[in-house]
Structure 1
């Protein structure tokens, strides 16, 4: 019995084998699109770290890897609106670079759209988006990933880097439903 196939764990939505197969396919597609070029990969933490690790191993072109931590602060007075800050593992020099933003799950798209606009303003030659999971039904902005693994509509997903509110279940090798 698989060590993760125990009672009480989230129901499997996308099995590990299916994820690995799709990540390899995405790696081939991205490698073909960037043949002869270097890609600057920027993964959003925390949800994108496992997808980034597997995707990097599936790429056949030179890569530079960095991590980004978005943080959203609500206005304290009334709780409306807010400020989005992006923290880089180190400040990237992306002028003239081909940038690929890597996410585990694109939901509303607001943070991703903000980040991609910021990267373009910093002088990136190109900015594209790769996500393992795309929840288009929750999109609040016009944003389409250039590369995606699976369309999802499940209410709350965990596993393969996605965590629960308690930050658990990120280590599951599959994507499961916690709802």
Structure 2
């Protein structure tokens, strides 16, 4: 079965099983590192919703944590505008908390750098970055996640929360545009 979105054929990049295994390994690392630290996971919407959902469910159930979300945007269509627009903020106070920012993909580094700089102003105890994907060769700001599922090639990917003009976010596997 061929998947077509916006007249483009999609090719499978990672299957459901591969994604589950990558996310599980990352969740185990976090679970081990955050015993007795009561972190707050902050997902960057819209893209991180599927990854964060799977990550949270794979975290050790004994780990006491909270979740929250922040919504930002720097894309129009398939291109980054390079300008990060904050659309909505946190519901929880993070002062003195151990924060884990959960991002779907890091490409240029502009969006996540802006998120982290804004979070620092709220005086958390720690801020760690967890990303599902790190796209090689696209970074304008060199930022390395503390927790990373995998690096990917410089292809336009879609699915598993990532979109093309808001299409394809709900696909449960990761694809690239041919």
Provide TM-score, normalisation by structure 2: 0.86
Aligned partner of residue 138 in structure 1, secondary structure: coil
- Bigger share in strand: 2
Q: Alpha-carbon deviation of 1:58?
A: 0.9
Aligned residue in 2 for 1:99: 99
> Residues 125-173 of structure 1: CA distance to partner in whole angstroms, max 9, x if unpaired?
00011111111311111211001111112421011111112x1211211
CA distance in 2, matches of 1:96, 1:43: 18
The counterpart of 1:65, out of the listed 44, 64, 67, is 67
Structure 1: give runs of 5+ residues left out of the alignment. Answer: 1-5, 74-79
Provide TM-score, normalisation by structure 1: 0.85
Rg (Cα) greater in structure: 1
Answer whether contact 2:101 2:130 (CA < 8 A) is retained.
yes
Aligned partner of residue 116 in structure 2, secondary structure: helix
C-alpha RMSD over aligned residues: 2.0
Answer whether contact 1:72 1:85 (CA < 8 A) is retained.
no
Question: Hey, which bits of structure 1, 4+ residues long, moved more than 2 A?
Answer: 80-86
Aligned partner of residue 172 in structure 1, secondary structure: coil
